[in-house]
Structure 1
Amino acid sequence: MSETASSPGDDEHVDEAQNERLQKAVIVAVRAGQRPRVLAEGKRYAALLNAPLVVVHVDVTRFVTFEDPDGMVHSAPIDLNIDTGAEEFAQVRAESEKALAGSGLTWTARQLVGDPALSIKHLVHELDAQLIVVGTRSRGIGESIREFFTGSVAARLSHRQSTPILVVPLEEPVPDDKKDPWAE
């Protein structure tokens, strides 16, 4: 059963009652159009742990400007095209609804903003999450450049908080006789 999902227009404000229902959740970070394996693993572990599932999309085109004492987060766009993040979140929500239909899980989708590792870390702390599920990066020059500037989300999370992280491979494994993708 899906709960109400936050959207970028909500200024990331989610009521305390919803956060209370999501305590000890499994958090799965997804991108629009990503292979469904990451969400499937999050779904599997949420069922195994009898935990709620929080599907998270991080809008990296926005940044946090300040947070009110009551937890309401205010954000501003880096780019004037603020619809990109909203469109991606709508796609993530639709993909999640399809994948989680009939699962019997309590789940919600949340849009976070800013640095992926830091925003996920904040949510993990807020919900006292049991597990974080993330995918590996895609191969290619664009992803290599992005990772050069932002670093690996999984690696950064592993050094900044204590909740276990499940890293799900998104592509076929690199053969042993090939160069490591991060060395490209």
Structure 2
Amino acid sequence: MGIHSGEPRKHPVVVGVSPGQPPHVVLQAARFAIQFETELICAHVNPGRFATAESPDGSMLTAPLDPDFADEREVAFDARLETALSEILADSNVTWRTLAIAGDVATALGHLADTVDASMLVVGTAERSFAGSVTELFNRSIAINLARHQLRPVVVIPARAAEGTAAAHTAGA
């Protein structure tokens, strides 16, 4: 039920997370992590930054693409997103942690998966709406890029879960 603070487990499940993402995407990723008896890494990618150094656990030191608009709050994992993840994963019994990474979303998630030798990558789609359609196109290209360049499974979770799915995943996790 908490953020993992010890040594990272082998072959974690990596899930791309963002504010407003449907909770069942993270719950499904947690379910995979529990089934694989490993940890869940919730990674948020900031495309306005680039990596300057990285650690074997996937954490990064980053710098802004445009130093004139640098905001040091962009370096750390978003506290509101972390709080939302805590609420989503509270009853899941999964060991999890967050990582703030930088760069092109598909490239950064793929690189993280390689760095931590992930068992799989999980990404979600967006809701149907005009804004969602633009996001959907963006997310689809992320999933396609990951699938084309990864040597590990990429699982794409639809934004709309079947009725009761999120509750079932929470109970089953």
TM-score tier (shorter): 0.7 to 0.9
Cα RMSD (Å): 3.1
Percentage identity across aligned positions?
A: 29
* Aligned residue number for residue 130 of structure 1: 119
Aligned to 1:14: none
Distance 1:172 1:43 in 2: 15
Which deviations, in whole Å up to 9, do the C-alpha atoms of 1:105-156 show, x marking residues without a partner? Answer: 2210111111111111111111110111100134445455567779711100
Q: Does 1:28 align with 2:15?
A: yes
Give yes or no for the alignment of 1:169 onto 2:169. no
TM-score, normalised relative to structure 2: 0.74
Structure 1, unpaired ranges of 5+: 5-16, 174-184
Q: Does 1:116 align with 2:117?
A: no
**What is the rounded CA distance, in whole Å, between the counterparts of 1:122 and 1:115 in structure 2?**
10
The number of equivalent residue pairs is 158
| Aligned match of 1:159 | 148
1:179 is aligned to none
Q: Give the superposition deviation at 1:24.
A: 0.4
Q: 1:24 to 1:69 in 2, by over 3 A?
A: closer
User: Which position in structure 2 is the counterpart of 1:90?
Assistant: 79
* Residues 40/134 of structure 1: CA separation in 2 closer, same or farther (3 Å cut): same
Counterpart in 1 of 2:89? 100
The structure with the larger Rg is: 1
Displacement of 1:101: 1.9
Which segments of 5 or more consecutive residues in structure 2 lack a partner in the other structure?
Answer: 163-173
Shift of 1:81: 6.1
> 1:17-63: per-residue Cα shift (whole Å, max 9, x none)?
74xx2320011111112110110101111111111110111112222
TM-score by length of 1: 0.70
Determine which of 20, 36, 44 is the counterpart of 2:31. 44
Q: Which amino acid aligns with 1:104?
A: N
| 8 Å CA contact 1:57, 1:92 repeated in 2 | no
Q: CA deviation at 1:163?
A: 0.9
Q: Mean Cα displacement is larger for which, 132-141 or 67-76?
A: 67-76
1:34 match: secondary structure: coil
- Indicate conservation of the 8 Å contact 1:53/1:105, yes or no: yes
Deviations 1:84-112 (Å, cap 9, x if unpaired)?
74687222211111122243322101111
CA distance in 2, matches of 1:165, 1:51: 17
